[in-house]
Structure 1
Amino acid sequence: MSTPSPAPAVTRAAAALDALAASPTGVMTLSDLARELEIPKSSASNLLQALEEAGLVRRQGPGYGLGRKLVELGAAYLDRQDDVREFYRFCEESPTLVNETVRIAMLDGEDVIYLARYEGHPAVRFTSNIGDRMPASLCAVGKALLARRHEKDIAELFPDGKQLPALTPHSITDPATLRAALQEVQQRGYAFEDEESTLGVVCVGVAIPTRGTHGASLGLSVTALKATFTRELERKLVAELQDLARSLGAPMSLGR
Structure 2
Amino acid sequence: MKTPRGSDLERRLRLSAQARRGEAVDPELGAILSLVAERRGARQAPLGSASPGTVLARTLVGPDIALLSVARPPGFNFLAGQAVKLGLGTGPTRSYTVASAPSDAELEFCIERIAGGNVSPRLTALLPGARVELAASPKGSLTFEPSAALHVMLATATGIAPFRSMLRELSARRSSARVLLIHGSSYADRLPYAAELTALAAEQPSRLRYVTTISRPGEPRNQGWVGLSGRVDSLLSQYVGELTGAVQAYACGNSGMIAATSALCAARRIPFKSEAFD
Q: TM-score range by the shorter chain?
A: 0.3 to 0.5
Which has a greater percent of strand? Answer: 2
TM-score, structure 1 as length reference: 0.33
Which has a greater percent of helix? Answer: 1
